[in-house]
Structure 1
Amino acid sequence: MSTSDTTSSAAPSAAVLAEALAHHPFFHDLPAPALERLAACAREARFDAGTQIFHAGGDADGFFVIRQGTVRVESKRPGSAGPAVLQTLHEGEILGWSWLTPPYRWAFDARAVGPTRVIALGGACLRAAFEADPLLGYRLVTRFAGVMGERLRAAHMRMLELDDGG
């Protein structure tokens, strides 16, 4: 995952991560074996305020479940002093979908607004889990399709606002 994150010295066990995922709406109805498979791909990570979590065009190596904090999804604007904030994500939301489709490059930038704690799930591990368990892959890919659609709609609306001077 990102090299700019810091992890705690006492990493939670796979069982603890599986339990945390089980209580999240994105994963809530998955059977225990599927959650255990996902937890094997997961770790906890923390980002300080202002930390760039990933950059557009960089290697998309997984996704994040925001457990605490706020993350801005941003895009650079030519001729602008700063990035355009496309969407602001909060606790309970999913960050990142570019790990699902080749060439596995981030579509946008993401930055922690304040101290942020996430569960980071590794893309290569997840893709291997989907190969081993196609039903799990289908279930998560259909959920990510919804996330992708929502992010693209939000980016489109924000770009229209920016074009109107907003």
Structure 2
Amino acid sequence: MLNRIILIGRLTRDPELRYTSNGIAVARFALAVNRNYSNQQGERAVDFIDVVTWRGLAETCANYLKKGRLVGVEGRLQISSYENNEGRKVRNAEVVADNVQFLESMRDRNDSNQSFGSGSFEGGNNNFNSNNFGSSNRPSDDPFASDGKPIDISDDDLPF
């Protein structure tokens, strides 16, 4: 059996961070994900998908994600059901995220002067896989930014 979900979308609201009675962090947010087709007016339909993250991943998402940020989410679909006040059975679907990728920097969104870059947060080990985390990421800090000049690399520097 296989239950894997991969989504790319924008947050519809800031993540909501809470803690269980055992002190485990849980964050919830929703993603707006465009469908692949447009209606007759040329507008794309959008799905709003609930996402839940746990532990360190939840705290990281709550600290660094904001409404409108573009993210990639990998996880599993979880469907729960309960009986509402009227006695009707209600089903709820959400994605339990194992991995959240920040797909644009805050500077790209013009939300802030400080950029946190793009990176990956995984629920299992909560590693951040970006080299520019927390850097100001100014163009002068980029060693690969050139002003049109060729880069001098000797054959001894090449790995092949």
Which one has the bigger helix percentage? 1
TM-score by length of 1: 0.23
Larger RCO, structure (CA 8 Å, separation 6 or more): 1
Higher alpha-carbon Rg: 2
- TM-score computed with the length of structure 2 as normaliser: 0.24
